[in-house]
Structure 1
Amino acid sequence: MPNLECRMYEPQFPEVDAPVMIQVKHIADMGAYVSLLEYNNIEGMILFSELSRRRIRSISSLIKVGRQEPSMVLRVDRDKGYIDLSKRRVSEEEALTCEDRYNKSKLVHSIMRHAAETLEVDLEPLYERIGWPLYRKYGHAFEAFKLIVTDPDGVLDVLTYEEKEIGPDGQEVTKVVPAVTPEVKDALVKNIRRRMTPQPLKIQADVEMKCFQFDGVLHIKEAMKKAEAAGNADCPVKIKLVAPPLYVLTTQTLDKEQGIAVLTNATKVCAETIEKHKGKLVVKEAARAVSERDDKLFADTIAKLKLAGQEVDGDEDSEEEEDTGMGDVDFTKPGVGTD
């Protein structure tokens, strides 16, 4: 079985004064034993005195088994493998930076591990030949992986490593060979594209639009066409009726800010057009990105509105009911219906 355990970064230990992500393993008499998630779960310790700048009233409120959070490296004993850490010395800015780096490194690690598992090779040699050189060149392998989505050859084909072998004369010879074989490249690129290809965001705005003038329906259709014309190739705008007077404007884009700006402008154009015909547009929900869950809830709302607008079964029968207000009267007989 291949060995799939490996640290995320090239150095075996973190540097002093560097923030790292830890997970609390267990709490002892003097402090908490933790594992360093980015360094193959090597053990470290946080003394109780390093938990908080304030007076400690309850240990359980400050640290819990299983929790993941940033900590600052205080001391590293490379010979014995001891690492002392501090929670209280991590600033808010350092914590945010650490969490962002860890989330990126975790994704890179997952992709590298999947490739090693698929190819049935050890993980560390993959890091030595591909992962860590990309960290050195791009600052973080995550940035290189983003480029691989569209240009795998430009990122991977230039990677090389030195391989030693014994020559014909019995002397050791160092050769420079490509770091990425076709099999490794195929496994990496497939997984990177599956995990890191940007997904378009759905931007949505909800409005109420009314026009009680003559040909009001035509004026509303004109306003809808103007709104859709305000879109562009990157952010095409669509507007549809949900249930009078509710309409929804949508677009899909990779750029959230651009999508919101385009949809906001489309809403404005739609309002100006309908107001020229003495109609009115009220924004119920401004342009915003919606998740799949939001989209499903909105679809359910539409379904309920449509259902509520349908006629109930009894309506048709009531229109066809026989008028029996006069009873059974025969108007052909003389004198009927006269004084």
Structure 2
Amino acid sequence: MFYKKQGLPEEESLVVCTVKKILPNSVFVDLDEYKNIEGMIHISEISPGRIRNLRDFVKEEKKLVCKVLTVNRIKNHVDLSLRRVNLAQKKEKDMQHKQEQKAEKLLENLAKELKIDIKDVYKNIGYNLIEEYGSLYDAFMEIIRHNHDLKNLNSPENYRTSLINLIKEKIKLPEFSISGTLILSSTEPNGIQIIKSSIKKLYEIAELKKYKISIKYLGAPNYKFDVTANDYKTAEKIITELSNEAILLMKKSNSAAEFKR
């Protein structure tokens, strides 16, 4: 990674490391995200249970995700744990690290487009993005999701314009889909029309609010209800909102609706 954080990580945080030296009772690693910071993993923090040979668990140059146990700010040293990182935490940290690496690649593309050194790109806009948004990836997601023009940054206009164009060209928002079953029933003489009207109304609401939904007939009284959004939380909010709307619409017509996962 080109960009390295200054200082030391916080205790309890997760860090990406590269194994550099393996001793009989400890492993020394470099913290990939930090500048010139070394960490140590004691044999007791490698894996639960007895360890006969550390090399059965780690090898030189292997990438690890570790938890920060203690930080010595005088010696610039960090004690780490490998065994206290669960699989979900490892996957999430790995994903964040890869996302940031991809974001750095985009800045390299910007340097090529502007025909300047990558150091100048960071000096003129990269560091400003990290300071304002926390990371390059988070900055790029804000630009895509909220159409930020980056005028809040103290960066030259040609850098801002070229970067925004590159981001829109290269980055696509992730999509998350969730689904359930709408159970729509009516004993009214015009029950079929009531159900059709309710479904039509849900589509109208979705179109107005720019939701991505799909309602497909499975066989009376069941309808497959799919919602797609840029994140799980938003998808969950939409499916709850529209399911409740379906219940209200059907109830107004003396009919019934229910939503099930």
TM-score (norm 2): 0.65
| Cα distance, 1:154 vs structure 2 | 0.6
After TM superposition, list the pairs within 5 Å mapping 1:127-206 onto structure 2.
127-149=122-144, 150-156=147-153, 158-159=154-155, 180=156, 182=158, 184-194=159-169, 198=173, 201-206=176-181
Structure 1: how far apart are the matches of 2:56 and 2:99?
A: 26
Structure 2: how far apart are the matches of 1:185 and 1:104?
A: 20
Structure 2: how far apart are the matches of 1:45 and 1:224?
A: 58
| Cα distance, 1:35 vs structure 2 | 3.2
Call closer, same or farther: CA 1:223–1:63 in 2, change over 3 Å. same
Structure 1: how far apart are the matches of 2:48 and 2:217?
A: 60
Deviations 1:222-271 (A, max 9, x none): 44345446657215566442444431334555533531332221331354
Q: Which amino acid aligns with 1:248?
A: K
Matched, 1:15 2:11: no
What is the count of residue pairs matched by the alignment? 245
Structure 2: how far apart are the matches of 1:229 and 1:151?
A: 29
Matched, 1:64 2:58: yes
Residue 234 (structure 1) aligned to one of 206, 209, 212: 209
Deviations 1:88-120 (A, max 9, x none): 79899xx89x94975664454233233335556
Secondary structure of 1:152's counterpart equals coil
Residue 242 (structure 2) aligned to one of 259, 263, 287: 263
Deviations 1:148-200 (A, max 9, x none): 442335145x32xxxxxxxxxxxxxxxxxxxx473x44542233234556456
After TM superposition, list the pairs within 5 Å mapping 1:272-291 onto structure 2.
272=251, 276=254, 281-285=257-261
1:293 paired residue number: none
Structure 1: how far apart are the matches of 2:27 and 2:113?
A: 37
| Cα distance, 1:69 vs structure 2 | 1.0
Structure 1: how far apart are the matches of 2:140 and 2:205?
A: 35
Gaps of 5+ in 1: 160-179, 286-339
Structure 2: how far apart are the matches of 1:267 and 1:15?
A: 52
Residue 46 (structure 1) aligned to one of 40, 48, 70: 40
Deviations 1:27-71 (A, max 9, x none): 34342242322147x67342425726x975126699534343134
Root-mean-square deviation (CA, aligned residues, Å) is 4.5
Structure 2: how far apart are the matches of 1:252 and 1:84?
A: 42
Residue 81 (structure 2) aligned to one of 76, 84, 87: 87
Structure 1: how far apart are the matches of 2:192 and 2:27?
A: 70
Identity of aligned residues (%): 16
Deviations 1:275-297 (A, max 9, x none): x25xx545342xxxxxxxxxxxx
Gaps of 5+ in 2: none
Call closer, same or farther: CA 1:68–1:135 in 2, change over 3 Å. same
Q: Say which one has the larger Rg.
A: 1
In the alignment, is the contact (CA less than 8 A) between 1:21 and 1:71 conserved in 2? no
Call closer, same or farther: CA 1:130–1:85 in 2, change over 3 Å. farther
After TM superposition, list the pairs within 5 Å mapping 1:118-133 onto structure 2.
118-119=113-114, 121-133=116-128
